[in-house]
Structure 1
């Protein structure tokens, strides 16, 4: 990922421009997306998510039932994701809202898994962080290149997974069955590993979106949109690590 400054005064030709051209370049910089801006907003969203996650976590381990906040956070978070998907220009306020409500969900399910499998949360956090660092390094040093074919394969696999999860959830209301991804069978564990791989590959799409968005000088609000996309992928990856680790622990 390129961390290049777009400050007009850093280039040798900038000093030869007229005052008007310099002002126009500075305004353009302020109104368009940058890599550093997207990264900064990603950190802001992460801090907001962790803050509200502490609320449901604290409630769960102090005798209170955070179920309402956990489910409510997931529902509102999903609604905000849909709003941002159809109206990206709303991202400056939708993205922070998503982080706050999704934090309630993350804190609640983390407390649930931790109560059942002590130590699982720190393991899942570590796995998510390590995966992020590895994927970032692979992207930055061009070991993995995001081509159109790469994008189409990852998007198709992601949609297939989401469709499968959605159908399994809907069918559970009408018929009694145990979906193949439930339980701790080798098949279930294999599916979790596959889903984690696809979630990790989505990180490359997020990195590419941020870099390409800056290169194309997309509107400033796309920094929030891209940061929100990265946060969605990290949340998905973390939840899948929780599920996988819980399956492995239950087999002991």
Structure 2
């Protein structure tokens, strides 16, 4: 299974492929699900702290924590990706750091659009539940063609964001990404759909890893990979809701 999520790629399984691990030392789907809930809880915990700071009398107090979250999530995210055996330690640290960042970002959106964060959170959880149901019932199958299509779309989105970032350094703004308009909302909807479809591939990758008898630490690693997709999905839903809210206020 070649996932479009760089974390849950086929190459990440090379470190243990061909080895045999006793049942007590092997990954299980239930174990991966439990680790995913732990990471989500850690992320929500630190996120609640920075979110509360942005809603207080001194919103700027959240900025150092936000910067720390950016640095920490990059360091621990890269460490987990390139050294999966470290995942039992680095994945929880990533979740804590990512929470600091997401909490501050969410707080900023909440300041501008009251009630948007609960909507985005519920939409993210609902989307994950719907994708899991679709995968388990076979409504959507992670076929080779499906995986290649989603991977290509994900790569295109990443390239678009990279070009937008480079252009911003030269004072060029890609307004169709950030300014509210029917076109920008349509693009945002498309990105949310692609992010959601990545969950199907993540579920399949986790199931395959368990079937191949991956070592126990891989539960943390796959939980980390799933969380990366969920973070992306949440941020994109948050952005979509903000575009819709802004569009309505301009009418």
Tell me if TM exceeds 0.5: yes
Quote the residue 1:15 is aligned against.
Answer: none
Structure 1 residue 166: Cα displacement: 1.7
Paired residues of 1:168 and 1:179 also in contact (CA < 8 A): no
1:216 equivalent in alignment to 2:205: no
Structure 1 residue 186: Cα displacement: 1.3
| Aligned residues: CA RMSD | 1.5
Quote the residue 1:251 is aligned against.
Answer: 247
Quote the residue 2:37 is aligned against.
Answer: 43
1:99 equivalent in alignment to 2:99: no
When the two structures are superposed, what TM-score results if normalisation uses the length of structure 2? Answer: 0.86
1:68 equivalent in alignment to 2:64: yes
Deviations 1:108-145 (A, max 9, x none): 01111111000101111111111111101000111111
Deviations 1:165-220 (A, max 9, x none): 12211221123333421110111111100100000001001111111111000111
1:57 equivalent in alignment to 2:51: yes
Identify which range, 132-141 or 157-166, moves more after superposition. Answer: 157-166
Quote the residue 1:129 is aligned against.
Answer: 125
Paired residues of 1:45 and 1:227 also in contact (CA < 8 A): yes
Higher Cα radius of gyration: 1
Paired residues of 2:91 and 2:220 also in contact (CA < 8 A): yes
In the TM superposition, 1:108-187 aligns within 5 A as 108-187=104-183
